[in-house]
């Protein structure tokens, strides 16, 4: 039995979503003739590339904070906040692909959920140190 099954499910979902974005970049490379290792080409390719890279950058912050926060928030609440992070990334990706100027709402949702996980973890550490 997995003790943090909801957090594990959110983590796997975030990784699969990131993999799907990676596949999108690969498809765009083939479709638009952007050979590796180039990371520039048409605007459509560059948007897909930036969506993927920004998500990878955010994943590095999100995953450890998600798991650390489970000791303070519990499995279900941490996973719920983690699900909000995924929704934020989906909003970000869809908006950025259509028009990069509209990516801000998804970015804000992502950063706020990451911030909540970080604050919860710090609060737990603080309370434990005082205890």
Please give the average pLDDT of every successive group of 10 residues along the chain, which has 131 residues: 94 98 96 92 94 98 98 97 98 97 97 98 95 82
Q: Quick check: 28 and 47 in contact, CB under 8 A?
A: no
For the chain, what are the domain ranges?
Answer: 5-121
The per-residue pLDDT for 89 is 98
pLDDT of residue 6: 98
Q: How many other CB atoms are there within 10 angstroms of residue 129's CB atom?
A: 7
* pLDDT 10s digits, 103-114: 999 999 999 999
CATH code for residues 5-121: 1.20.120.550
Give residue 7's pLDDT. 98
What's the confidence (pLDDT) of residue 2? 82
> Quick check: bond before 37 cis, omega within 30?
yes
């Amino acid at each position: 039995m997995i003790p943090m099954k909801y957090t594990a499910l959110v983590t796997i979902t975030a990784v699969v979503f990131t993999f799907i974005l990676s596949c999108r970049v690969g498809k765009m490379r083939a479709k638009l003739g952007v050979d590796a290792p180039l990371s520039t080409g048409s605007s459509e390719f560059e948007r897909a590339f930036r969506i993927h890279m920004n998500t990878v950058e955010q994943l590095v912050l999100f995953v450890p904070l998600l798991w650390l926060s489970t000791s303070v928030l519990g499995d279900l609440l941490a996973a719920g906040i983690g699900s909000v992070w995924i929704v934020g990334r989906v909003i970000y990706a869809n908006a950025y692909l259509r028009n990069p100027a509209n990516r801000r709402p998804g970015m804000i949702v992502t950063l706020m959920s990451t911030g909540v996980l970080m604050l919860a973890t710090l609060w737990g550490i603080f309370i434990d140190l005082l205890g």
